[in-house]
Amino acid sequence: MFIQTEATPNPEVLKFLPGREVMGEGTRDFRDAQAAAVSTLASELFAIDGVTRVFFGPDFLTVGKAESHDWSHLKAPILAAVMDHFTSGQPLFAGADDAAGGHDDAVYEGETAQIVAEIKDLLDTRIRPAVAQDGGDILFSRFDEATGVVYLNMRGACSGCPSSSATLKAGVENMLKHYVPEVTGVEQTL
Condensed to tens digits (0 to 9), the pLDDT of residues 60-111 reads 999 999 999 999 999 999 999 999 999 888 888 876 555 555 666 677 888 8
Domain boundaries, the chain: 4-88, 110-189
Instruction: Give the CA-trace dihedral at 47, 66, 160, 136, to 10 degrees.
Output: -50
H/E/C letters for each residue in the chain? CCCEEEECCCCCEEEEECCCCCCCCCEEEECCCCHHHHCHHHHHHHCCCCEEEEEECCCCEEEEECCCCCHHHHHHHHHHHHHHHHHHCCCCCCCCCCCCECCCCCCCCHHHHHHHHHHHHHHHHHHHHHHHCCCEEEEEEEEECCCCEEEEEEEECCCCCCCHHHHHHHHHHHHHHHHCCCCCEEEEEC
Predicted confidence at residue 85, as pLDDT, reads 92
Predicted confidence at residue 2, as pLDDT, reads 87
CATH superfamily name and code, 4-88: Scaffold protein Nfu/NifU, N-terminal domain (3.30.1370.70)
Pairing type for strands 149-156 and 185-189 reads: parallel
Between 14 and 125, residue with greater pLDDT: 14
Predicted confidence at residue 27, as pLDDT, reads 85
Predicted confidence at residue 78, as pLDDT, reads 96
Per-residue confidence band for 160, with pLDDT thresholds at 50, 70 and 90? low
Predicted confidence at residue 161, as pLDDT, reads 66
pLDDT for 30-71, tens place per residue? 989 998 999 999 999 999 999 999 999 889 999 999 999 999
Average pLDDT on 151-180 reads 79
For 110-189, CATH gives 3.30.300.130
pLDDT for 104-135, tens place per residue? 667 788 888 899 899 988 888 888 888 787 77
